[in-house]
Structures are given as C-alpha cells and as structure tokens.
C-alpha cells in the first residue's frame, strides 16, 4: 500500500510523490528513490522495489522530478514542454527539497535514524551529488548509475547549439522528446564543481553500493568501475550482476519480478540493513 502526496517546491513546481511503509515513518530510516532519464516513479519495477523495501521495514519515498515530462497521467509523457526545460541542477535542487520535506515532517514525524538514497541511471549521479553534501544521508545505493552527465559527442553539441534543442526518440512511446540547450549549458558550466560526479564520490565519505548489470547497453559497466575506482574502498561495494540489463531485466508495464531484479533488491536491502539500521 502507498499514500500519495504533492509537494510544492520553492520554484512553485509540483513533485508527485508516493510513500510506502507509512507505518514505519516514526521508527525506521527513510529511503528516497530518484529515477533516471525518461524514468518516473510508476515505471516498471519502481513500485515493486518500494514495496519490497517497505516490507523490510523502511519508510520509502518515490517521486517524479517536476520536469521529467510526466503529468497528471502518471504513466504518460504529457508535459513535453517541461521535459524540454529540465536541467541536472534542477533535479539536484528537487532531491534536496525532498530531503528537507522529510526532515520538516511533511509526511509525518520522521525517525532519527537517517536517510538512504537510491538512484537509477541518471538519478544515480544526482543522488551521489546530493549524498556528498547532506549529513542526513547515511548511505547511498546507485543502480546502473552514470559516472558523468556529459554524454554527448562534439558533433551533437554543435548541432544542439545551432538548433537550440536536441531531439530524443522515446523508443517505448515513439514520442520525439526535446531538450533545450539550457540542459547542455548547465552541464558545461558546472562540470568542474557542482555537477562533477567524480568529485562527489571522492568527497562522499559514507557507505556506497554500486550495482551494475553486466549486459547494460545504456550505461556500460565501465562507468560503475569508474565510480568504484573513485570511491573509498573501505566504505564501498561494487556488484556486477551477470546477464542483467540496464533495468535488471524488468520492463514497463511491469510483468513481474525475475532473478536479476531480486538479486538487486536483496543486495540493496542487505546494504541498508548494515548501514542504516
């Protein structure tokens, strides 16, 4: 079971949120899940994963970044204008606002046991940036995480600047989704500091779990190995799941669990049990 919330951000945007394990809020740590590019809180395995962790005793929050393209129809991209205006800096700010909302009792009186973050794909990079800055975050798990936000060739960047937009095909929905050049400029202007994942990992100084699918064609295993290389080995774990895809062999709509997804969830649960409880 889950309970839904809408959080109004400091920019007057709405974050659509689902809370799982609401009965655990006063007694257990909080785990916040951040989705990736073209992801959303109701995608595929996300509700199942949240229920799994809530069943393990955690208070779990999943949410949609305000400019991820998902509107009132929680599984359809109906806000492509907002999707075009998104930036990584905005997502970092919104994950921080999620943490603030939890701390200030927006969902109910919080426990004092700290917060764990989970980030998938691009959400992994965002989670690492935020975790490196927030003392309340006691541990972070990243699933198929990017090691850099700059994922574009020089030719792509040149055309992007000339046109003012980049067009991306969503192969699942066949929608052409636009990204304004502001997205690129945000990455380039902040690549050495605010949005530098390598710097964040080197400054993390808290437990880190890196889980990667061996057959991930979207974010290659080399990126997971880079994250581990940058990390404090005494506080980090790298788990590469054989024959697993970018989404750990799960699909949308969700068609049920599988052995790779169960390995991911069990590994994550054991990690948080060790470092949060």
Residue 45 predicted with pLDDT over 90: yes
Give per-residue pLDDT as tens, 82-105.
999 999 999 999 999 999 999 999
Confirm if 208 and 238 have CB atoms less than 8 A apart: no
Q: Identify the CATH number of the domain in which residue 229 sits.
A: 3.40.50.1820
Rounded to whole angstroms, how far apart are CA atoms 113 and 192? 33
**Residue 175 maps to a domain:** no
Taking the CA atoms of residue 76, residue 22, residue 112 and residue 109 in that order, the dihedral angle to the nearest 10 degrees is: 100
Residue 74 in this model has a pLDDT that exceeds 90: yes
Backbone angles phi, psi at 8, to 5 degrees: -85, 120
Alpha carbons within 13 angstroms on the beta-carbon side of residue 81 total 0
The mean pLDDT value for 150-161 works out to 97
Residue 169 lies in a domain: no
- Cα–Cα distance, 244 to 242 (Å, whole number): 6
Both structure tokens of 119:
């980030």
Domain assignment present for residue 176? The answer is no
Is the pLDDT assigned to residue 79 strictly greater than 90?
yes
pLDDT per residue over 197-216, tens digit each?
999 999 999 999 999 999 99
| Arithmetic mean of pLDDT, 182-209 | 98
Contact call for residues 44 and 253 (beta carbons, < 8 A): yes
Counting runs of H as helices and runs of E as strands, what totals does the chain give?
Answer: 9, 10
Cα(123)–Cα(63) distance, integer angstroms? 11
Express as a percent the part of the chain with pLDDT over 90: 99
For residue 214, give every residue at least 6 positions away whose Cβ sits within 8 Å of its Cβ, in sequence order, or none: 221, 240, 241, 242, 243, 244
| Residues 194 and 251: beta-carbon distance below 8 Å | no
Look at residues 200, 166, 196, 193 and name the one whose alpha carbon lies nearest to residue 180.
Answer: 166
Question: Which one-letter DSSP state was computed for residue 77?
Answer: B
Asked if residue 132 is part of any domain, the answer here is yes
Angle value at C-alpha 179, between 178 and 185, nearest 5 degrees: 160
Tokens 């969503």 belong to: 170
DSSP 8-state symbol, 22: G
Instruction: Give the Cα separation of 91 and 129 in Å (integer).
Output: 10
pLDDT at 277: 79
Is the pLDDT at 162 greater than 90? The verdict is yes
Nearest to 212 by CA among 120, 137, 134, 136: 120
SS3 211: strand
* pLDDT per position as a tens digit, 4-44: 999 999 999 999 999 999 999 999 999 999 999 999 999 99
For residue 49, being part of any structural domain is answered with yes
What is the extent of the structural domain holding 13? 2-149+193-275
Number of domains in the chain: 1
Instruction: Please tell me what DSSP assigns to residue 215.
Output: T
């Amino acid at each position: 079971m889950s309970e839904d919330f809408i959080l109004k951000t400091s920019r007057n945007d709405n974050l659509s949120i689902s809370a799982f394990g609401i009965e655990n809020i006063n007694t257990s740590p909080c785990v916040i899940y951040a989705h990736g590019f073209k992801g959303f809180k109701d995608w595929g395995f996300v509700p199942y994963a949240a229920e799994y962790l809530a069943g393990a005793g955690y208070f779990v929050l999943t949410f949609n970044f305000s400019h991820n393209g998902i509107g009132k129809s929680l599984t359809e991209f109906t806000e492509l204008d907002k999707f075009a205006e998104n930036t990584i800096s905005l997502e970092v700010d919104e994950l921080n606002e999620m943490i603030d909302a939890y701390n200030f009792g927006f969902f109910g009186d919080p426990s004092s046991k700290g917060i764990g973050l989970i980030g998938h794909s691009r959400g992994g990079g965002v989670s690492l940036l935020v975790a490196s800055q927030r003392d309340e975050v006691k541990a972070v798990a990243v699933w198929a995480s990017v090691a850099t936000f700059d994922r574009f060739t020089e030719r792509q960047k040149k055309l992007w600047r000339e046109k003012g937009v980049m067009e991306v095909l969503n192969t699942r929905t066949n929608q052409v989704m636009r990204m304004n050049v502001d997205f690129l400029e945000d990455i380039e202007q902040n690549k050495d500091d605010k949005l530098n994942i390598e710097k964040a990992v080197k400054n993390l100084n808290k437990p880190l779990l890196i889980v990667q699918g061996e057959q991930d064609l979207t974010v290659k295993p080399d990126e997971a190995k880079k994250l581990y290389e940058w990390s404090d080995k005494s506080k980090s774990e790298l788990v590469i799941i054989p024959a697993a895809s970018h989404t750990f062999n799960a699909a949308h709509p969700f068609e049920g669990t599988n052995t790779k997804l169960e390995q991911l969830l069990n590994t994550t649960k054991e990690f948080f049990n060790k470092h949060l409880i």
